[in-house]
Structure 1
């Protein structure tokens, strides 16, 4: 990467609006976003966001793709990675890890069971589904947890009914705030997955220990309207989509993969199942 590309990339990111747009796309990576959805999350005027995206695209930090008459945008994580590599190459005589804090340099846990946290906004349905599924399908390889950024006071009754029909026990399950898992005495997380768009859109502090993260967005069944049968179908679809993802995750050879390869695989799980859900 040449010095001119580095300067352009850094100068483009050296703006509060542009870097927030880029961070939002990174949180959704590898899936793209529509500008109107980005504008709503960032509370920006469409023309302002358009200027930010144009600058980021010119710097090679985002990529636009046609989807009919619309243009979707995704973060160019490869370009961002090259920018970081360039900055760290000569750091501490080529030992970039020496320049990070002890917390940031903590290695991922390599022995089972792995601690896995699923985050949703309300922690009343989708993240609860994921917790129960991994707990029961994980073959003892994982400790499953769930939490919400703005949790409800109780679990959704349709979600409880869905889990019980599928043979999962719901005793002891409850809605929790993510702050429960950010305390000093909380278990160290190896994986953190967001399972609804609202949770991925929120800006959260980096998780201690730098766990593997991914966005496995699922349509919100709580928002389903219509008859009781139609509402039940929405919960069944959400459960089924998460079940497929959990099965794919459990089948990964976690200890046999390098961190970068593992990150790629969990991203693929989210992207592949997302395509299947909309096909």
Structure 2
């Protein structure tokens, strides 16, 4: 066990390997193609291959093949063995001072703060905010933000929300920094709904909220006819709606933090993206 932990610590003791592992954790449970990893991390293929090989050998990353592409995902079980060893052995079970504990009293509340993040906060995260806000306003306080928010909402997104019966009068584009201020609401759940936002480095959220990655293709970037553009927005809306429906149906009162995180990850893997 100790040799395995030493291998994991050595694997993470290099900036490139640590950056790759952190990126895959932000994208978990999604598996990311090697080419995308190289582009995001700014590494040539040969360097990335060496980085991933050592992380795999240490039991921190898994690999699978999708057609001709190799894809990689964080090995959360391997990471759990590392953190478990550090808390149980090195800290001698002193989990509270050694770990960054979740505020367990928040698990007993009946209203949850949920933040959806995408890059522009003009369509996908706005969809998610509107859907969950309307679905269960008595259970969730819902927000959205962008890592590089634009000045106004996308008109196709607004038109679709209005057609679906959502009130858009209070929706606006916001930046993530607005929710990182000292007086900002403390989040219970933080979801990224686009790969670009999940790829970006960001500081940890106070209180370690449960996180999820529900990446959707960016409908704003779709070119073509009006019908093709409208279809792209419809597909993004439908994919998020199905995930949010599954999320809102979770038995929050009977699940602890670990179980909630596992269910959120399952939603990302198993929810069909049908409108």
Q: TM-score range by the shorter chain?
A: over 0.9
**Cα deviation per residue 1:53-78 (whole Å; 9 max; x = unaligned)?**
01111111111112222211111110
1:119 aligns with 2:117: yes
Q: Structure 2: how far apart are the matches of 1:4 and 1:16? A: 21
Question: Which of the residues 185, 188, 207 maps onto 2:186?
Answer: 188
Q: Secondary structure at the match of 1:122?
A: coil
**Cα deviation per residue 1:132-169 (whole Å; 9 max; x = unaligned)?**
00000025110110000000000000000000000000
1:106 aligns with 2:103: yes
Q: Structure 1: how far apart are the matches of 2:116 and 2:268? A: 13
Structure 2 regions of 5+ residues with no counterpart?
none
Q: Structure 1: how far apart are the matches of 2:215 and 2:21? A: 19
Q: Secondary structure at the match of 1:213?
A: strand
Q: Secondary structure at the match of 1:12?
A: helix
After TM superposition, give the deviation of residue 107 of structure 1 in Å.
3.0
Two-structure CA RMSD over aligned residues (Å): 1.4
Aligned to 1:33: 32
Contact 1:90 1:96 (C-alpha < 8 Å) held by counterparts: no
After TM superposition, give the deviation of residue 233 of structure 1 in Å.
0.7
Contact 2:60 2:78 (C-alpha < 8 Å) held by counterparts: yes
**1:82 to 1:92, Cα distance in 2 relative to 1, 3 A:** closer
After TM superposition, give the deviation of residue 237 of structure 1 in Å.
0.7
Contact 2:240 2:273 (C-alpha < 8 Å) held by counterparts: no
Give the aligned length.
273
Question: Which of the residues 163, 170, 173 maps onto 2:171?
Answer: 173
After TM superposition, give the deviation of residue 99 of structure 1 in Å.
2.8
1:54 aligns with 2:53: yes
**Cα deviation per residue 1:154-188 (whole Å; 9 max; x = unaligned)?**
00000000000000000021100111111111111
- 1:1-279 matches, within 5 Å, as 2-100=1-99, 104-107=101-104, 109-110=106-107, 111-273=109-271, 276-277=272-273
After TM superposition, give the deviation of residue 258 of structure 1 in Å.
1.4
**Cα deviation per residue 1:171-207 (whole Å; 9 max; x = unaligned)?**
0211001111111111110000000000000011000
Q: Structure 2: how far apart are the matches of 1:19 and 1:93? A: 26
Q: Structure 2: how far apart are the matches of 1:84 and 1:108? A: 23
After TM superposition, give the deviation of residue 100 of structure 1 in Å.
4.3
Contact 2:238 2:273 (C-alpha < 8 Å) held by counterparts: no
Q: Structure 2: how far apart are the matches of 1:72 and 1:237? A: 24
Instruction: State TM-score, norm by structure 2.
Output: 0.96
Contact 1:107 1:209 (C-alpha < 8 Å) held by counterparts: no
Contact 2:17 2:55 (C-alpha < 8 Å) held by counterparts: yes
Contact 1:108 1:209 (C-alpha < 8 Å) held by counterparts: no
Q: Structure 2: how far apart are the matches of 1:176 and 1:209? A: 22
